[in-house]
Chains A and B, each alone.
Chain A
């Protein structure tokens, strides 16, 4: 091999190496793109809700009410809307057999009673008339309408029967199937029925957990960082604290769940499944993150600031509280937000302290049982029903939205308020 050939080979190796690097970065980015596309493409349909608009005859006889008198609110509340609903569904197909009537009923969410009742309560004038009322479609038809559910497989492998699809198509031709923004996804609590399940309960659970976490972790971490950076003597014990903090930052999150279970629930007897316990567990987890960020920003405050304050006669405490800490606050805050964003996405420790309970009420305080957004993702992902897949993706989108929002907030605080020294 002569000199030129060797040189060509070496240059080729150089090119190859560069290519590997580029390919590696490309792979990482490609995965992110595939991942986000997949989540968005499966999730966006969850923001639409399918309604069936059907003619309803609010006939007094069908409701067993007095036809000559306008019904009061109590009358309507006492009326039986289940039988009434069934009668209404039969009007869609008067020749329906017993079994087919049950299938007709299953085309609607089980809340049809309530929906029929509230329509009448809101529109008392429709009493005695036939009006169009929109009812929540069942999860299976919702998925069929959104195209997430194949129709061309044999009937026995399908959740929606041929009969239901026939009626559904007829309604669709008449323009009686409408799709609207799914507000109930944001206002409903969790439900066993995919078409009714919402994220309100888990959102509140996350909110409470994060607030508890913030109110414990931020003050404790800030004070701990101030102590270690400004007051702590250089000795073995201080070193020991530092080693502890660094190690805690890398302890797997599930171990904190075991801590919450073994200490907070078993020893202190705090209530299971509550955001209070979840928040405390998460705060122990975020503590090291915030301490490390706070210490870094305290370190970044130049000694000249402290010396100037001390020279003016301020005590160590005054120097720290009036000058050093305010200057370090932006960095600490942005570290705190990043720590909270981590805590918001955390699932495993919350599962261990029981925040996976099925919660169909919206928690009002941190002491009520609740789930959290990531746990809701887990619960729905484990559920077999097809309708939950889009819900999971939509829930992920909501969670990612908050995470991006928080991280941008942290960046903003850092760029806007942090002083650069040099």
Chain B
């Protein structure tokens, strides 16, 4: 039904384009127009489609919650919990689709009938109201069309408005992220004290398994459950291991590419290294879990070391390989943009190429390189699949790279995989972790981008 209405609006808008243009062409035969005939077409099409579509969209968004309100208004006085009401409403909906297979009560039956009734009323009134708005607005615009109606300007202003709204998408996404994270996080901190979360040393979300809603509000359930220190430590530890792999390899290959490599090597090796950045992270995760983990374990055994099959080293090492191209490409760019006269000056003093690089170019390019490393760190902290698949899921507080640790991202996945119960502190804990991840990466990115920008401005 919805798609039928939508298609009708689109088709009517398209056809009104032709009506508008035709009228303009008729007028054109004896009077001079103020715009090309097609603008009259666009003008009419916008008047036809835009108001109707807006109403249709708003209606579709608000209809379910309004219907829900009417159905549940009979029961809201009975002092039921939010969860129970939700469950009841889901039952009503499935009964109305004839998919309900539980116990039938008179209440349920009555509500389902009422629900169907409401849906019917809503559906038909939507059709009637949307179509009458469409006809009214089109008729108004059609009668307004004459030789000296301004049509190009309104059409262009409308388009500009649409462009502007599109550019708001980025802001809306950011607001959506902050809203969804903050909302759940605040609820989380109403149960778990902020202090316990930030400084707690034990993280066992599985312990916070609650059977029903009344238990969920008992804070004593959660003492020593949601202490995020082991996870934060694990996150930075794995990121550190990753950077130990990525920085030397990435930086050295970036320098070599920029300063030594022949044109041909650059032409081929650079895109090939960049393939590493294009491989999906789940593939790295599989590789780390299937090959690198067992390899390290066997290696450890032959050296007499106890290595977990899911060690931080395997996850961090593979993650480091993933980050190599980010660092090598960015530092390559940064080094290439160091002005030639700095090099020439150094050569003129008799320095060798490597001395020039180490003593002149590297210090000059340092801010940019630091920026690229910070971007790499932010990648490493936000990386999920490698850790989920290759490192452990139990949050150990350890500094031994051969043991398994867990990260923020891995814990979010562990908590949220499968069915989630909103309103459960465990689910909210994942959002709290998400918020801390968002803040950390945001700060890193802002610092990195501003450092790189400042550096660019210096030499441009």
Q: Enumerate chain A interface residues (CB-CB to B < 8 A).
A: 10-11, 13-14, 16-18, 20-25, 27-29, 31-32, 35, 38-39, 42, 219-221, 223-224, 226-228, 231-232, 240-241, 244-248, 250-259, 261-263, 266-269, 284, 287-288, 291, 315-317, 341-342, 344-348, 351-352, 354, 356, 374-375, 377-378, 381-382, 389, 392-393, 396, 399-400, 403, 407
Contact = CB atoms under 8 A, between A and B. Distances in A.
Contact of A32 (B275, B417, B437): B275
29 contacts: A11-B352, A17-B357, A21-B253, A21-B255, A24-B250, A28-B249, A28-B273, A32-B273, A221-B169, A224-B163, A241-B170, A244-B173, A244-B174, A246-B445, A250-B375, A251-B382, A251-B438, A255-B441, A257-B412, A261-B416, A262-B181, A262-B184, A284-B169, A284-B176, A317-B160, A345-B278, A377-B283, A389-B290, A403-B279
Contact of B280 (A219, A288, A399): A399
Contacts of B249: 24, 27-28
B139 interface: no
B281 A347 contact: yes
Interface in B390-444: 409, 412-413, 416-420, 422, 430-431, 434, 437-438, 441-442
Contacts of B290: 38, 42, 381, 389, 392
B45 to A, nearest CB: 16
B116 to A, nearest CB: 19
Contacts of A32: 272-273, 275-276
Contacts of A35: 279, 287
B420 to A, nearest CB: 7
Interface residues of B, number: 90
Contacts of B152: 315
Nearest to B286: A381
A263 B353 contact: no
Nearest to A17: B354
B437 A255 contact: yes
Nearest to B354: A17
Contacts of B430: 258
Contacts of B354: 13-14, 16-18
Contact of B355 (A10, A21, A284, A344): A10
Q: Is the interface of B mostly helix, strand, loop or mixed?
A: helix
Contacts of B252: 20-21, 23-25
A317 B416 contact: no
A238 to B, nearest CB: 8
Interface of B: 61, 64, 152, 156, 159-160, 162-164, 166-171, 173-174, 176-177, 179-181, 183-184, 248-253, 255-257, 260-261, 269, 272-273, 275-276, 278-283, 285-287, 289-291, 321, 324-325, 328, 352-355, 357-358, 375, 378, 381-385, 388-389, 409, 412-413, 416-420, 422, 430-431, 434, 437-438, 441-442, 445-446, 449
B256 A24 contact: yes
Contacts of A266: 180, 422
Contact of B431 (A16, A252, A258, A403): A258
Given A29-B272, A347-B281, A248 B180 contact: no
